[in-house]
Amino acid sequence: MNKIIVLLLLTLFSNSALSENQKEADKPNFLLIVADDLGYSDLGSFGGEIQTPHLDALANKGVKFTNFYSAPTCSPARAMMLSGMDNHLVGLGTQKYYWAEEQKGRPGYEGYLNNRFVTVATRLKDAGYHTYMVGKWHLGYDESSYPSSRGFEESFALVEGGASHLDQRGVIPKAAKANYIKDGKPVDLPEDFFSSAFYTDTLINNIESHRKDGKPFFAYAAYTAPHWPLQAPKAFLDKYQGVYDQGYGEIAQQRLTRMQEMAIVDENAVVQSTPDFYPKWNKLTPSQQAREARLMEVYAAMVDALDYNIGRLIEYLKKTKQFENTVIVFVSDNGAEGADPMDITTPAQPNAQWIPENFDNSFANIGKANSFVSVGPGWAGVSSTPSRLFKGFTAEGGIKVPAFIFSPKLARQSHLSHEFVSVKDIAPTFLELAGIPLDIASHNERPVLPMTGKSMLSYLMVQEDTLHGADFSEAWELFGRRAVRSGDWKMIWLNDPWGNNRWQLYNLANDPAESKDVFSQFPEVVAKLSKIWEQYVAQNEMVVVDKVDIQYTNGTSHYQHKMSSDGGLPN
């Protein structure tokens, strides 16, 4: 059945009948667009007030996923996208510098992409595709793990997990200069650099330089917006003045109402408040409220600018008549960012200062090249509406992300999908669309592990009504925080003060906010999920720490203890 679907779809993507020796030009192009720390409700098509018309048009015409799941943070998510496998197998069982003692030296915990698998870029390149990558890499810090060594023919990449968006200032941690590489070699940025615009220009140039040779392309557009530091050109900054003066609760409620009208969330969903140790809008002074509102204005400007530049990329594809033959996937790598960099420490860097020197975070300078601010947990909670918590957690707000897939040739069009989908499903979908076998036992005489994600092709072509089925199971773990799910049941383990250092059970069908722990009421469900969890740990060769020593604190000390003497929130 699947072979028939593939043949039918590839015929649709060509101008002539599919022959035994299919021409490379008949194969679809693939564009994977990744936003960095974008919240579930930020896009207009997902209920947000931010102006994102280009992404909204694609989302509303394609298949918009309301239950698309990624990983709690960026590196594990990106590893899963490029591998079609769980992050614990491919080297990102934890991020670099975040090792617990028990994890050091263990396979799967290298902190970079290991050699136990083959990236989707390599598989597509082997099959005759051009492969391009721009933006954030964050999957390896030496030449053997750069994009140029993992299947990308041309690449322009930020090596670290974040940097200034307007110059080459480094920020992780206290780096004087961010490390950028072009095709694996160090390179400096131009003086007029703005991340979202530069990455778009670079990718357009990559595609255009080979367009006339007839070969298809796979383009990985890994934008760094809206990851901190919050910075954007003035034209975008001015658009959102005053929009967020109403505060966290009012904006969240407006988003939720629109989400309900769009049927993205259930009509019984409610706005979730952040934990009590985070600030409440009505407890802030007027100057604190003004500063918080300005932070979100800059964040919105970054998302707006991201959409604008993605629009330029789409317009290029249309102008060059490549749009109709391109499969576009858009996804955020994880939930919204609620941490302040001042609070992030690791065992390897217990006294790290993640703030560049000579920065100016005065109110008037927020959003400019030498400012270094983040939105914090108040606005991250709004971005996660209506889910609980945000990036860094296995709660819904940390792992459920906005996502859609678009192609004029797919059978499902203008479809709102409530199917469970995993970020691991992207790579096998691309391979099957390209007519490439999903699993191989070896590559260049090196044994490799099979993909564990599932191709979406049959679902997208309306050959199947479901992707993973009602009884699917999935699990997540990072920094000791964990979750396991089967159908509507989800069991989650969070450390204090966000959890209680033990498993808790929720039914997402009637409690999507994970607010009513029913662990003691359903022992049979607990037993089932516990068995699934044990299998997940064994299959992925995991080392799970019971005590979370890694302090990814998500803003607790900053917002609870560090109110500045002048009444403004410190940064």
Q: Report the residue count for the chain.
A: 571
Query: Nearest-5° angle of CA 494, CA 500, CA 506?
Result: 65
Q: At what angle do helices 376-383 and 248-261 cross, to 10 degrees?
A: 10
Q: What is the 8-class DSSP label of residue 235? A: H
- Strand pairing partners for 505? 491
- Strands of 47-194 (E only): list them: 63-69, 130-136, 154-158, 180-182, 185-187
Any residues with CB less than 8 A from the CB of 106 and at least 6 apart, and which?
93, 541, 543
**CA 274, 403, 70, 224: dihedral to nearest 10 degrees?**
-80
Query: Nearest-5° angle of CA 409, CA 421, CA 419?
Result: 80
Q: What is the DSSP string of 141-162?
A: SSGGGSGGGTT-SEEEEE-SS-
The two counts, helices (H) then strands (E), for the chain are 14, 16
Please tell me the distance from the alpha carbon of residue 383 to that of residue 247, in angstroms, as a whole number: 13
Q: How far lies 122's CA from each of 23, 29, 327, 432, 564, in Å? A: 19, 15, 18, 15, 50
**Exposure letters 42-65 (e unless 16+ CB within 10 A, then b):** bbbbbbbbbbbebbbebbbebbbb
Is the Cβ–Cβ distance between 10 and 22 less than 8 Å? yes
Instruction: Give the three-class secondary structure for 35.
Output: strand
Q: What is the 8-class DSSP label of residue 349? A: B
Q: How far lies 169's CA from each of 173, 461, 540, in Å? A: 11, 46, 37
Q: Which amino acid is at 295?
A: L
Catalytic residues: 74, 138
Is the Cβ–Cβ distance between 542 and 93 less than 8 Å? yes
The pair of structure tokens assigned to 351 is: 């006294």
Q: What is the CA radius of gyration of the chain?
A: 22
Is the Cβ–Cβ distance between 143 and 324 less than 8 Å? no
Instruction: Give the three-class secondary structure for 113.
Output: coil
Any residues with CB less than 8 A from the CB of 431 and at least 6 apart, and which?
84, 120, 123, 124, 437, 438, 455
